């Protein structure tokens, strides 16, 4: 599609600022206002087509033409694999670009066909009851920042001047439930938790070059997140020097006057958002900008500043070039849902799945097993594959299909669903479990799905607006599993759990011989589960969350205090079922010989930590080596342990390699009770191993972590 090139703003050889200024000078005031919402109007006299900014790419191009559905975001985090996540995001941007160009060529301009993606979600998953937690990268700020940065690199590409697609980090800055109150809720957070937990991932993505930030619905310490001088102006723009665009969450500006009561009407809400640095309104409040101007609530200069920032994104995406569909010519519609991307989705799913139990090495199963009994509410349900913010695939493979496809041609595979996700307890029929008596092994695929946990209004089985009030596995499933265990007798019971958040399953752990956590594993989830169950792949995923024993272990759902509230693995002091970073393999890994590149560090310096890792088992496998810090003997509360480095490595049986991880000066900062960096000398205990340094990990089969101590001294 060739566009009129007579205007300077069409000239790709001119500096970006000059092109933006040229277009701004040509726009009338009504035209400027028409470009300020997510449904940016066509400016026909200048040859600018309608553009809808709203698109999603959380784990694949979403809500659009059929495309590859990768594992849900929480599963991406469970890979602990930065390179793999960047490759995944690059594949998503390939498909998004291909669809966008095809739409341009056909003259189609509509929602979900653009290349401005409102992904990723880097909020901290502080409480497993939050329905949207599976959109995030888990409960740790370091892991969230590193996985999020890799995702941004993959989406945006490596051209400093231009963007392949535009990423957007959300929801700035403190937003994680409750869903039912998100339009009225005032999240209270102290400066220590902000600096230590809630803000680092956003800062990491800004340093990486993310071009978009979405502000949240709720208030933070009384200020509406999308109208906050403290966080949008002072922190984001002034201190962090963010120069991209800020978009409101959809219809969040209506909350200013309707729910938060910080403004009196839509014109005042529009003015507050403009003055707070919100450049684009997902919604309709900015349709009242003319009234705000007429009432002298804002100036046209302030409007121009906001418009110029979001127009710059469209220029960097080459939308204003004479031939906007001519870039990336190698990306055609054949790219979308390609075999290459299908195999990548399978690899990501394999790398994300976490083996939680494997008594007596019942896994892997033999492919020539005589008979398998498959059952469970999620065994043949594609809802267990999708998560939320999902696309539609042409190639869904359920767990049942994957298992059937992997078994030997003469193996008998029997299937009975037996239990439904929302089935009433008194109607659970367990007599069908008797079919297991002739089988050599039973595989139960249980858990929940996006029907049960998700965003406000999207979860028909949630009674709390998308959240959960309890984290226990639904009792109807426990009735079924007890009956299945009894029917199995001495034969192995393997349980595959689908969930995007922690489920309290201590009884399930005791009933099962093996437990595999599969998340919402995307279109190739069934194949990936079968690859692991039958030993083609050794499991290597690690938990990006803590799995607790009970809902009673959790703090109040509306309590945003991390340190004082004892939330997440970094501060929770009680026993857990499975700790953060935990995950078993079909082999064993041993860590030894930890050393530092220097004996101590001065403030403002970094350090290199090196250690040996050995595959002490009999099969090849991949391991995620993890590094944690714990401050010693300081006069204020610090995390029990904090992840500060990780690396995935593949080792053959008996093979040893030496790994080195770099701790930056920022990694060695600890915050006092007021949220200030601590100035005095102190020591760190540095742990390396296959899990967070929790005694439960050792009890479940992970080698006790290696540790050494490092002194941080004041700079001389």
Which positions are annotated as active-site residues? 249
DSSP secondary structure of 566-588: T-STTT--S--SB-TT--B-SS-
- Edge-first strand listing for the sheet containing 642-651: 600-602, 706-713, 682-689, 621-632, 642-651
- Cis status, amide bond into 120, omega within 30 of 0: yes
With 0-12 / 13-18 / 19 or more C-beta atoms within 10 angstroms meaning exposed / middle / buried, residue 506 is middle
CA distance 123 to 227: 19
Strands of 365-490 (E only): list them: 371-375, 412-416, 441-447
Strand partners, 516: 355, 496
Please state, as a whole number, how many other Cβ atoms lie within 10 Å of the Cβ of residue 397.
26
CA distance 104 to 114: 10
Residue 685 bridge partners (DSSP): 630, 709
Count Cβ neighbours within 10 Å for each residue of 190-214 and write b for 16 or more, e otherwise. Answer: bebbbbbbbbbbbbbbbebebbbbb
Closest CA relative to residue 351, chosen from 75, 683, 98, 87: 75
Residue 261 class from Cβ within 10 Å (0-12 exposed, 13-18 middle, 19+ buried)?
A: exposed
CA torsion 145→383→335→78, rounded to 10°?
Answer: 30
**Looking up tokens 């990336």, which residue turns up?**
328
* 715 φ/ψ angles, rounded to the nearest 5 degrees: -70, 135
- What's the chain's Rg over C-alpha atoms? 26
- 418: alpha, beta or left, given left = phi > 0 and alpha = psi -120 to 50? left
Instruction: Label the pairing between strands 607-615 and 589-596.
Output: antiparallel
* Degrees to nearest 5, angle at CA 564 with 146 and 205: 20
Residues whose CB falls within 8 Å of the CB of residue 644, separated by 6 or more in sequence, listed in order: 142, 627, 628, 629, 663, 667
Question: Around 420, how many Cα atoms within 13 Å sit in the side-chain half-sphere?
Answer: 9
CA distance between the termini of the chain: 62
Instruction: List the Cα angle 165/170/171 in 5-degree steps.
Output: 160
User: What distance in Å separates the CA atoms of residue 311 and residue 315, rounded to the nearest whole number?
Assistant: 6
Q: What is the C-alpha to C-alpha distance for residues 64 and 352, in angstroms, rounded to an integer?
A: 25
């Amino acid at each position: 599609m060739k566009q009129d090139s007579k205007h300077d703003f069409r000239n790709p050889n001119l500096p970006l600022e000059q092109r933006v200024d040229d277009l701004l000078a040509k726009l009338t005031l009504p035209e400027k206002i028409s470009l300020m919402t997510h449904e940016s109007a066509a400016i026909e006299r200048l040859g600018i087509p309608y553009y809808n900014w709203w698109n999603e790419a959380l784990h694949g191009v979403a809500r659009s033409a059929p495309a590859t559905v990768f594992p849900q975001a929480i599963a991406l985090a469970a890979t602990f694999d930065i390179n793999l996540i960047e490759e995944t995001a690059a594949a998503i941007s390939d498909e998004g670009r291909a669809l966008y160009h095809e739409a341009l060529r056909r003259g189609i301009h509509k929602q979900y066909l653009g290349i401005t993606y409102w992904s990723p979600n880097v909020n901290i998953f502080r409480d497993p009851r939050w329905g949207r937690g599976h959109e995030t990268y888990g409960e740790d700020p370091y892991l969230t920042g590193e996985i999020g940065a890799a995702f941004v690199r993959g989406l945006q590409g490596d051209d400093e001047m231009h963007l392949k697609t535009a990423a957007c980090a959300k929801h700035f800055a403190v937003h994680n439930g409750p869903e039912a109150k998100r339009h009225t809720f005032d999240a209270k957070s102290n400066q220590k938790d902000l600096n230590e937990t809630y803000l680092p991932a956003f800062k990491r993505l800004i340093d990486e070059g993310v071009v978009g930030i979405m502000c949240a619905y709720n208030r933070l310490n009384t200020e509406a997140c999308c109208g906050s001088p403290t966080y949008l102006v002072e922190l984001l723009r002034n201190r962090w020097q963010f120069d991209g665009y800020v978009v409101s969450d959809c219809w969040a500006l209506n909350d200013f006057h309707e729910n938060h009561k910080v403004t009196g009407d839509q014109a005042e809400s529009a003015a507050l958002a403009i003055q707070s640095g919100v450049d684009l309104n997902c919604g309709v409040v900015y349709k009242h900008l003319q009234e705000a101007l007429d009432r002298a609530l804002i100036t046209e200069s302030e409007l121009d500043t906001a418009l110029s920032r979001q127009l710059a994104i469209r220029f960097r995406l080459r939308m204003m070039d004479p031939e906007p569909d001519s870039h990336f010519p190698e990306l055609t519609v054949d790219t979308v849902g390609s075999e290459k991307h299908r195999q990548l989705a399978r690899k990501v799913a394999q790398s994300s799945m976490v083996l939680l139990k494997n008594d007596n090495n019942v896994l892997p199963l033999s492919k020539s097993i005589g008979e398998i009994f498959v059952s469970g509410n999620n065994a043949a349900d594609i809802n267990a594959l999708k998560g939320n913010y999902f696309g539609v695939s042409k190639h869904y493979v359920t767990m049942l299909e994957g298992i059937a496809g992997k078994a030997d041609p003469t193996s008998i595979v029997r299937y009975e669903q037996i239990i439904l996700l929302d089935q009433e307890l008194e109607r659970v029929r367990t007599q069908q479990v008797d079919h297991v008596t002739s089988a050599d092994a039973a595989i139960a695929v249980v858990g929940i799905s996006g029907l049960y946990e998700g965003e406000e209004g999207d979860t028909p089985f949630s009674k709390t607006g998308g959240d959960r009030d309890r984290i226990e596995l639904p009792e109807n499933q426990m009735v079924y599993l007890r009956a299945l265990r009894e029917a199995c007798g001495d034969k192995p019971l393997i349980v595959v759990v689908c969930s995007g958040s922690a489920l309290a399953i201590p009884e399930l752990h005791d009933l099962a011989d093996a437990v595999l956590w599969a998340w919402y594993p995307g279109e190739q989830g069934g194949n990936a589960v079968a690859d692991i169950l039958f030993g083609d792949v050794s499991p290597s995923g690690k938990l990006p969350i803590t799995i607790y024993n009970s809902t009673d272990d959790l703090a109040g759902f509306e309590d945003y205090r991390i340190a004082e509230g004892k939330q997440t693995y970094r501060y929770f002091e009680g026993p857990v079922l499975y700790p953060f970073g935990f995950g078993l393999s079909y082999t064993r890994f041993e860590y030894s010989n930890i050393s530092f590149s220097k004996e101590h560090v001065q403030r403002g310096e970094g350090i290199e930590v090196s250690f040996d890792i050995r595959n002490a088992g009999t099969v090849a496998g991949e391991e995620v080596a993890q590094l944690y810090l714990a401050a010693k003997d300081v006069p204020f509360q610090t995390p029990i342990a904090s992840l500060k480095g990780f690396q995935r490595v593949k080792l053959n049986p008996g093979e040893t390699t030496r790994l080195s991880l770099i701790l930056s000066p920022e990694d060695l900062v600890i915050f006092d009770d007021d949220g200030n960096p601590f100035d005095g000398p102190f020591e760190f205990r540095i742990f390396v191993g296959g899990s967070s340094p929790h005694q439960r990990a050792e009890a479940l089969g992970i080698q006790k972590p290696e540790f050494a101590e490092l002194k941080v001294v004041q700079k001389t």
